[in-house]
Amino acid sequence: MHRQHRKWWSPALERDMELLVFGDRGTPVLVFPTSRGRFYQWEDFGLVAHMAPRIDGGWLQLWCVDSVDAESFYAKDRSPDQRAARHLAYERYLLDEVVPAIRAENDVPFLIAAGTSFGATHAAMLVTRHPGVARKAVCLSGAYAVSRWLDGSADAYFLDPLAFLPGLTEERYLAPLRETEIVIATGELDPNVEESKRLAAVLQEKGVPADLHLWQGWAHDWPFWKEMVDVFL
């Protein structure tokens, strides 16, 4: 399998950032790790190897990014405003650095954002806050009430899709969002299953093609996510 490690100084985050690219062609997939996970997580847990036939066959190209969750949402030593600001810097890194790198090397215009657990949260935030950047989101076993990690921050409302989506009326956001396919899959017994149901419902109310898929049982682990990517990626 084509595998390439990338590392550069991020102006947005003011530190080095790393990522892994798997495959040399195909539909690009921006892959987020789980909470505080690293860019090599999907490889370490066997998801990349599981998807190897589709990657080697030129169907998919994975761009596995690093997270800064330990500096943002999970940084309990920082104020809520500082946590939110660090995530917004990470968002700039994605939009101003990673996505342009993908566009420069892959001429397939259809970009997918995907993630498991808190990675699903990141994928959902990206496509709902910046409609049109990705044409599809695959959100597996996510938690979407982002405000819980940013209690007291002025930015919490605007980062939380369950908070800002119900009141969203501007067509300049809704029009591209309605052209985005959003897959929300989780276990029936997942502790955050109600948030998945709420996210799917509010998106559907806005006319967004969002589908909710419930897996039997807990389903919050890598063996289940391998089954899910077989269906949705």
Domain borders along the chain are 3-232
Q: pLDDT digit string (tens) for 97-125?
A: 999 999 999 999 999 999 999 999 999 99
Judged against a pLDDT cut of 90, whether residue 227 lies above it is answered with: yes
* 146-169 mean pLDDT: 95
Judged against a pLDDT cut of 90, whether residue 151 lies above it is answered with: no
Is 161 within 8 Å of 199 (Cβ atoms)?
Answer: yes
* 75-90 mean pLDDT: 97
* 195-211 mean pLDDT: 98
CA distance 68 to 71: 5
Q: How many percent of the chain have pLDDT more than 90?
A: 99
* 134-155 mean pLDDT: 96
Judged against a pLDDT cut of 90, whether residue 152 lies above it is answered with: no
In words, the CATH class of domain 3-232 is alpha beta
- Looking at the chain, list the stretches that DSSP marks H as alpha helix, in order from N- to C-terminal side: 41-44, 47-50, 52-56, 80-93, 99-105, 118-129, 156-159, 161-164, 171-177, 193-205, 222-232
CA distance 28 to 5: 16
CA distance 183 to 190: 16
Cross-strand partners of 62: 22, 29
3-state secondary structure of 166: coil
Tokens 């955050």 found at: 192
Judged against a pLDDT cut of 90, whether residue 93 lies above it is answered with: yes
Q: How many percent of the chain have pLDDT more than 70?
A: 100
Is 122 within 8 Å of 115 (Cβ atoms)?
Answer: yes
CA distance 156 to 16: 27
Average pLDDT score over the chain: 97
